[in-house]
């Protein structure tokens, strides 16, 4: 992955980062931020489930930033590093719940091989999550995939980064951290 930014920061005195590069298009940046926050704050899926799908996407797409970031509300729901260690290619043999495994299978279908998101899996997820939860998961994984590809393409990958817990987008802590 490239760690050489391909677009300069639009914010004087700040290094290129996702938010400073998107500042070249402030209306789009603002709209994206509202959409991403709305996704995280929508109650159709729990924070833990969203974060499991996000981490699976990060590991498959090899997005260095996304792999190392954790969101605080998922932590508040008990999602810890020991659980995230199961989000590997061997997750089907892990102690994750059947529902969580189906979420990861569906995530894999969206980000990789669409045949892995077969109709039987989608129907099982509809029973698990409801129509609103399945729609939220589908759109969320699309957001994760797009965001990871944008970060990689723009060269905004860190050389190295420790696991970092950030306020969840849309949360009170997120607004205070910005």
Residues 30-56 pLDDT 10s: 999 999 999 999 999 999 999 999 999
Specify if 63 maps to a domain: yes
Is 35 domain-assigned? no
Does residue 13 lie in a domain region? no
Query: Does any domain span residue 140?
Result: yes
Assess if residue 89 is contained within a domain.
yes
Name the domain count of the chain.
1
State the CATH number of the domain containing residue 168.
1.20.1290.10
User: Domain residues for 88?
Assistant: 45-177
Percent of the chain at pLDDT > 70 equals: 96
Q: Evaluate whether residue 37 is within a structural domain.
A: no
Q: How confident is the model at residue 153 (pLDDT cuts 50, 70, 90)?
A: very high
Instruction: Provide the pLDDT for residue 174.
Output: 82
Question: Could you tell me what percent of the chain has a pLDDT over 90?
Answer: 85
The answer, yes or no, to whether residue 177 has pLDDT greater than 90, is no
Give me the DSSP letters along the chain.
---S-SS--SSTT----HHHHHTTSHHHHHHHHHHHHHHHH-TTS-HHHHHHHHHHHHHHHT-HHHHHEEEHHHHHTT--HHHHTT-STTGGGSSS-HHHHHHHHHHHHHHT-GGGS-HHHHHHHHHHHHHHHHHHHHHHHHHHHHHHHHHHHTT---S----EEEPPTTSHHHHHH-
């Amino acid at each position: 992955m490239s760690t050489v930014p391909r677009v300069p920061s639009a914010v004087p005195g700040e290094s290129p980062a996702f938010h400073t590069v998107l500042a070249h298009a402030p209306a789009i940046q603002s709209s994206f931020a509202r959409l991403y926050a709305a996704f995280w704050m929508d109650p159709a899926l729990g924070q833990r489930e969203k974060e499991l799908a996000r981490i699976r996407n990060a590991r498959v797409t090899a997005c260095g930033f996304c792999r190392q970031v954790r969101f605080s509300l998922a932590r508040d729901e008990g999602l810890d590093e020991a659980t995230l260690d199961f989000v590997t290619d061997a997750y089907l043999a892990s102690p994750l719940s059947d529902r969580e495994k189906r979420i990861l299978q569906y995530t894999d279908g969206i980000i990789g091989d669409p045949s892995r998101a077969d109709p039987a899996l989608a129907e099982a997820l509809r029973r698990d999550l409801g129509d609103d939860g399945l729609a939220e998961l589908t759109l969320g994984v699309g957001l994760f995939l797009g965001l990871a590809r944008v970060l990689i393409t723009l060269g905004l990958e860190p050389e190295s980064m420790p696991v970092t817990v950030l306020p969840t987008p849309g949360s009170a802590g997120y607004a205070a951290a910005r």
